[in-house]
Amino acid sequence: MKKMDSFWMPFTGNRIFKDNPRLLQTARGMHYTKPDGSQVLDMVAGLWCCNAGHNDPRIVSAIQGQAAEMDYAPHFNFGHPAAFDLAEQLVEITPPGIDHVFFTNSGSESVDTALKIALAYQRERGKGTKTRFIGRERAYHGVGFGGISVGGIPYTRQQFSGAMLPGVDHLPHTHLIDRNAFSRGLPAHGAELADELERIVALHHPDNIAAVIVEPVSGSAGVLIPPVGYLKRLREICDRHDLLLIFDEVITGFGRLGSPFAAQEFDVVPDMITTAKGLTSGAVPMGAVFVADRIWREFMDKPGSAIEFFHGYTYSAHPLAVAACGATQRVYREDGLFERARAMAPVFEEGLHSLKDAPHVIDIRNYGLMGAVELAPEAGAPGAKAMRALQAAFDAGVMIRVTGDTIAFSPPLIIEESHIGQAVDTVRRVLEEL
Ligand SMILES: Cc1ncc(COP(=O)(O)O)c(C=O)c1O
């Protein structure tokens, strides 16, 4: 066995990584430190999650304190007071009417939980034929069987084609590079793509459709920003046909766009919001599904004392995650990090768009502290150029993320102007030498 082969790494070309590993040893603020002691500027918040930056002492000490006090408490028929307090705090920043939270351990679990809540809700209200789901091309909703089925990532769909949920349709993606290239903020063209939902509804009949799920801004597929008016149109069509709308805010939740959630940023309120990542700033795994009161009432406003929803995880609201989450939310509030994201967004936008004339660049797009620089693909080797850019940037002390031929940025919300300057200068040099 080759050195390092015991660890089968997730979503990684294991063979190529292990030939030249990119290792991270410690972290603080905006930086990782490599085993050789050199620093790496983190322009992706780890994996879109460390919104408060790394190792904030307030979060570290909350986790340490909880670990010493109580390691674990079950939430099947028992409860930890801190989890109830946390839920109350969290629903203060959700849009009005979204008042309940179901805790999970990851974004994938949040997505599968939301899909199950949608199915169970329809059945509870006597509409048990409403079972179909509608997702979108190029969507990433994690790796559960539900998530990959509503997701639209071709490689995933190919590898697991035998195990997709039945009864799923996909809206077209909204990445119209020929019409919207180099857009700043919401792209101007493409709202009419939401009308495809009408076509799908007409095909299957609303009596057979449970819910529509979309990422307000697609992250993993390369930062695909919704065209002006698109999300509002989806909401209107869902209302017209009595379909639930789920926003997957695993990336956009907790300040990445400047508001607590994309729902507020774009003034479109879904029926459920799936989250993870920024919930605890990545410090302890945790996910959460935020649920509209009218859904919750369908389960609870009935006589009886049976279990209302046959679903849950051993680690739902794990004490360490609850402690990390409570402290993270305090850091967001105390340091005004969502406002900071909004304030830094124009600087970030200017920086990214200054790369317009750099070699290989065919599009740049951004919203809040999410951004992408798309490169022209190399003939016969999609993604190869961007992977070389990732390696060169890492060697030069900047961590970026790539997906296909797109370089994605989603820095911690504590980012400063000088970091943006360093990242942009590094990426320009990398592209010039690619
Ligand atoms: C929108 C979205 N949903 C779900 C997930 C899956 O989250 P996890 O990797 O925590 O399972 C991700 C992860 O990137 C995501 O971006």
- Kindly give, in sequence order, each residue whose CB lies less than 8 Å from that of residue 43, ignoring residues fewer than 6 positions away: 398, 399, 400, 409, 410, 411, 419, 423
For residue 119, the CA-to-ligand 1 centroid distance in Å is 21
Span 221-250, average pLDDT: 98
Contact at 8 Å (CB) between 338 and 332? yes
Tell me the best of 250, 252, 290 to mutate to test the pocket of ligand 1, counting ligand atoms within 8 Å of each CB and taking the most.
Answer: 250
Residue the block writes with tokens 């690619």: 434
For the CA of 248, the closest atom of ligand 1 is 1
Residue 42 is which amino acid?
D
Closest CA to 50 of 392, 387, 369: 369
Q: How far is CA 349 from CA 94, 156, 255, 356, in A?
A: 27, 32, 16, 11
For the CA of 144, the closest atom of ligand 1 is 11
For residue 143, the CA-to-ligand 1 centroid distance in Å is 8
Q: What share of the chain in percent tops pLDDT 90?
A: 98
Interval 388-431: pLDDT, tens = 999 999 999 999 999 999 999 999 999 999 999 999 999 999 99
Tell me the best of 140, 223, 279, 284 to mutate to test the pocket of ligand 1, counting ligand atoms within 8 Å of each CB and taking the most.
Answer: 140
- Kindly give, in sequence order, each residue whose CB lies less than 8 Å from that of residue 355, ignoring residues fewer than 6 positions away: 361, 364, 373, 424, 427, 428, 431
Contact at 8 Å (CB) between 151 and 188? no
Report the pLDDT value the prediction gives residue 235, as an integer from 0 to 100.
98
For the CA of 142, the closest atom of ligand 1 is 6
Interval 98-142: pLDDT, tens = 999 999 999 999 999 999 999 999 999 999 999 999 999 999 999
Interval 332-373: pLDDT, tens = 999 999 999 999 999 999 999 999 999 999 999 999 999 999
The binding-site residues of ligand 1, defined as CB within 6 angstroms of any ligand atom, are 48, 106-108, 111, 140-142, 215, 219-220, 248, 250-251, 276
- CA pair distance 60, 64, nearest whole angstrom: 6
Interval 160-193: pLDDT, tens = 999 999 999 999 999 999 999 999 999 999 999 9
Tell me the best of 113, 220, 252 to mutate to test the pocket of ligand 1, counting ligand atoms within 8 Å of each CB and taking the most.
Answer: 220
Tell me the best of 251, 272, 275, 286 to mutate to test the pocket of ligand 1, counting ligand atoms within 8 Å of each CB and taking the most.
Answer: 251
Tell me the best of 223, 247, 277 to mutate to test the pocket of ligand 1, counting ligand atoms within 8 Å of each CB and taking the most.
Answer: 277
Report the pLDDT value the prediction gives residue 2, as an integer from 0 to 100.
75
Residue 386 is which amino acid?
A
For residue 254, the CA-to-ligand 1 centroid distance in Å is 14
Closest CA to 71 of 319, 315, 321, 283: 319
Interval 16-62: pLDDT, tens = 999 999 999 999 999 999 999 999 999 999 999 999 999 999 999 99
For the CA of 108, the closest atom of ligand 1 is 11
Other C-beta atoms lying within 10 Å of the C-beta of residue 302 = 10
- CA pair distance 391, 23, nearest whole angstrom: 12
Report the DSSP pairing between strands 406-409 and 370-375.
antiparallel
Q: Break the chain down into helix, strand, coil percent, rounded to 5.
A: 40, 15, 40
For the CA of 252, the closest atom of ligand 1 is 1
Tokens describing residue 125: 């209200």
For the CA of 249, the closest atom of ligand 1 is 1
Q: How confident is the model at residue 3 (pLDDT cuts 50, 70, 90)?
A: confident
First CA to last CA distance, the chain? 33
For residue 224, the CA-to-ligand 1 centroid distance in Å is 15
Contact at 8 Å (CB) between 370 and 349? no
Report the pLDDT value the prediction gives residue 114, as an integer from 0 to 100.
99
Task: State if pTM tops 0.85.
Answer: yes
For residue 48, the CA-to-ligand 1 centroid distance in Å is 9
* Residue 1 clears pLDDT 80, i.e. is over it: no
For residue 68, the CA-to-ligand 1 centroid distance in Å is 30
Spell out the domains of the chain, with CATH numbers in brackets: 14-56+336-433 (3.90.1150.10), 61-334 (3.40.640.10)
Q: How far is CA 17 from CA 8, 310, 391, in A?
A: 11, 41, 10
* Residue 250 clears pLDDT 90, i.e. is over it: yes
For residue 148, the CA-to-ligand 1 centroid distance in Å is 11
Q: What share of the chain in percent tops pLDDT 70?
A: 100
368's torsion region: left (phi>0), alpha (psi -120 to 50) or beta? left
For residue 250, the CA-to-ligand 1 centroid distance in Å is 6
For the CA of 274, the closest atom of ligand 1 is 3
Longest dimension (CA), the chain: 69
Span 79-98, average pLDDT: 98
Contact at 8 Å (CB) between 283 and 328? yes
